Structure 1
């Protein structure tokens, strides 16, 4: 079972097929508000937060999908990718199709 489903329930829907983006690493943790996935673009680490489909189920986010800058507090071989006070939002959308277009653009840049 996927980590995000273990942490947020088997019925949590991402709105996209995670298998289409094998470079997204699931770092979901039940103490967070929603599932999260980290990835690297060039030398920068980023985290994708995926919130609940229904806005009423969200604790804080206005948009369902948020990509933020992050830092690696671990090593290259054992990364610990986290967002913090200095993290910046680089992309937000409510739309799964807009998110997939963004991710596909990043994938083509790899």
Structure 2
């Protein structure tokens, strides 16, 4: 898992990643926190996961943040970037992330992939 290589084996996501197989790890050590991308229909998103304790966070963002993203690659070789994407969710608890994803999926009428 990239996030463990980039941010340490003991980094706590606050959820079991294997329960969310559609989250694809795109973590990079130059970023401030682990990140995972997914898509609903044609729209790509990035989920950023920061430290559980606010004092350990580099930025003042919430622990979980979902941002719209673009794929500058293709479906076979995706290159997902969120630097210009709108923030669509921020929260401290993963249950709120999970509920937001369900509502987003239902709203767009598509399957998360």
What TM-score results when the alignment is normalised by the length of structure 2? 0.88
Structure 1 residue aligned with 2:5: 6
Cα distance, 1:102 vs structure 2: 2.4
Segments of 5+ residues of structure 2 without an aligned counterpart are: none
Q: Does 1:78 align with 2:77?
A: yes
**Secondary structure in structure 2 of the residue aligned to 1:53:** coil
- Residue 103 of structure 1 aligns to a residue whose secondary structure is helix
SS at match of 1:99: helix
- What is the Cα-based RMSD across aligned positions, in Å? 1.5
Runs of 4+ in 1 over 2 A off after TM superposition: 100-109
TM-score (norm 1): 0.90
Q: Which runs of 5+ in 1 are unaligned?
A: none
1:34 aligned residue: 33
Residues 73 and 91 from structure 1, CA distance in 2 versus in 1: closer, same or farther, beyond 3 angstroms?
Answer: same
User: Which structure would you say has the larger RCO, counting Cα contacts within 8 Å and 6 or more residues apart?
Assistant: 2
